[in-house]
Copies of this chain bind each other. A is one copy, B any other.
Amino acid sequence: MLIQIDHGCDRPVYLQIADQVKRDVALGRVAEGDRLPTVRELSSRLVINPNTIAKAYRELEHQGIIITRPGSGSYIAQGSSRLSEAVREKLIREQIDRLMVEAIHMQIDRRQLFGWIEEALAKFKFPEKGAGDGEDRG
């Protein structure tokens, strides 16, 4: 699992790590039950304090993305969201709105933005509920 930290970025390091693990799960690059790098290994690889890695893993565990077994290591959990449907819709729609606002202020036009979104929709591995819906996209 490749993880990169941008120390110039204002996002906290521990969240950058959590983001990237979540991203790899979302992209299908890691599967349920896969073992994550140990705290110490990632710590020495990224030259970051072990506590910071541990904090990232704890955050992921709180979100139900991984489970961590003391003495053994951390593993990708089953994908499950504990939030109600209404709350999830609200959160995602807010995030979409923020994206629109940013794009407009950066003078991205609608067609360009739409193109990038389509690329992203194709790139990620969505959980398709029905059969035969999106197999030829990703």
Cα(A9)–Cα(B13), bound, Å: 21
> Taking the nearest CB of chain B, how far is it from the CB of A5, in angstroms?
11
> In the complex the two chains form, is B95's CB within 8 Å of A99's CB?
yes
Which range holds the interface residue count of chain A?
35 or more
> In the complex the two chains form, is B134's CB within 8 Å of A106's CB?
no
Known interface pairs A96-B99, A96-B116; A124-B109 also in contact (CB < 8 Å):
no
Q: CB within 8 Å of B: which of A101-138?
A: 101-114, 116-117, 120-121, 123-129, 131, 133-134, 137
> In the complex the two chains form, is B97's CB within 8 Å of A126's CB?
no
**This protein's copies in its complex:** 4
> In the complex the two chains form, is A108's CB within 8 Å of B92's CB?
yes
Asked if A40 is an interface residue, CB under 8 A from chain B, the answer is no
Contact of A121 among B67, B91, B113, B126 (CB under 8 A): B113
The interface residues of chain B lying within 8 Å CB-to-CB of A25 are: 104-105
